[in-house]
Copies of this chain bind each other. A is one copy, B any other.
Amino acid sequence: MNLRNCKTIKKRRELIESECKVFLSNIGHYSLDENVASTRNCENMIGVTQIPLGIAGPLAISFSSSKTQEQGTKNYYLPLATTEGALVASINRGCKAITESGGAHVLCHRIGSTRGPVFKVQSLEENSQLFDFLMGHEDEMKKIAETTSRHLKMLSYDTKSTGLYRFVRFVYDTQDAMGLNMVTIATDAVVRFIEEKTGARCVSLSGNFCVDKKASHLNFQNSRGREVWAEVRITPPVVQSVLNTTPEKFVETWLSKCMVGSAMSGSMGFNAQFANVLSAVFIATGQDPAHVAECAIGMTTAEVTPAADLYVSIYLPDLMVGTVGGGTGLGTQKEALEILGVAGPSVGGDGKNAEKFAGIVGAAVLAGEISLLASLSQGTLAQAHKKLARGQGMANDK
């Protein structure tokens, strides 16, 4: 008997219990819709992994983008799925500093989801002809791509070549979906058209020119998904009372670590802990956590303003998120999106929900940066870890 012959979650779990001599009572304990999960989200399903879900907030946010149609500043509660003690407390402290300062201001720019196939040709001349073909058939390719889904629009494409290889990066608007499945299917159709018309051969539908789930300078330079910026000005009293530090110390720590340190270590993350916040929000809300590999690149800036306030900003050049598709429809994930008020497709199908969600993620990332940099600037990080190691928790810490 093997996994393939097990037709139900329970049978599979029992097989594993028997084969591995283990007892999987927790894995077998869940409330999600197993029919959906086992056919759309996870093959060979045997149950679930339970990840503790915490809340940080309230986090006051105002949006710049007219797309979200959000006026003024509103409070949000951030759902964060994590097993790493201190993370929720840390983000929570950042939320407090932001909210007491009047809120984070966020700005989003939709770039689009991308797929980057690689073609091979016989000569530089053929490669040049392929370039000309691509430049001359935008409308046809757009049309072909858009027949594959009514939720997808091809926005543009870039191309780059070396020797007999040509890489093309197709960029799509996929409304409220992160949309990688959609863009894969659409790009496949476009690729077949190109092959047929030009004789060029597609060697791989993904030529690592997407660039999907890898830290890359292409995504840093030219962005992917959405670009998100968030900022806040924190007055010295709030810096003192909530963050226990000073604007000057904060900025010195930022400069030493996020700028000089990241440069010295050849890092693509000029930030403190983007990855921590992103992975906690991604898991809670049904995003693809593998995208953390690419989304954690980006930059934090900090300065003391002429008015002696602490200014902090974050920039995410490559944020791949959605409110439909992937894991967003599963029981707990959907509830998490509902906490944020962005579950499912937006009315009008214009990607408004995903846009708003992206902005919230940006503000959450900002909160994480503020809290950790403040803690490092005061030399209190280790103490927090010590308390944690003793199981004393951190929820009530400032």
Contacts and interface: CB of A to CB of B under 8 A. Distances in A.
A213 B381 CA distance: 16
A165 to B, nearest CB: 5
Nearest to A214: B269
A141 interface: no
A347 interface: no
B181 A389 contact: yes
Nearest to A33: B26
Contact of A204 (B265, B336, B376, B393): B376
Contacts of A3: 55, 57, 77, 92
8 contacts: A27-B336, A31-B50, A48-B332, A188-B379, A188-B382, A213-B275, A216-B268, A280-B290
A49 B55 CA distance: 12
A382 to B, nearest CB: 3
Given A43-B87, A163-B231, 15 more contacts: A26-B334, A39-B393, A40-B85, A43-B393, A46-B55, A49-B284, A120-B256, A164-B303, A167-B264, A182-B389, A184-B382, A213-B296, A217-B218, A279-B288, A289-B289
Contact of A40 (B229, B274, B391): B391
| Shortest beta-carbon contacts, A-B, top 10 | A83-B327, A217-B266, A214-B269, A188-B382, A26-B331, A215-B215, A208-B261, A217-B217, A163-B313, A42-B52
A16 B339 contact: yes
B213 A388 contact: no
By secondary structure, the A interface counts as mixed
A369 B347 CA distance: 39
A29 B30 contact: yes
Which of A83, A205, A338 has the most chain B CB atoms closer than 10 A to its own CB? A83
Contacts of A205: 376, 379, 381-382
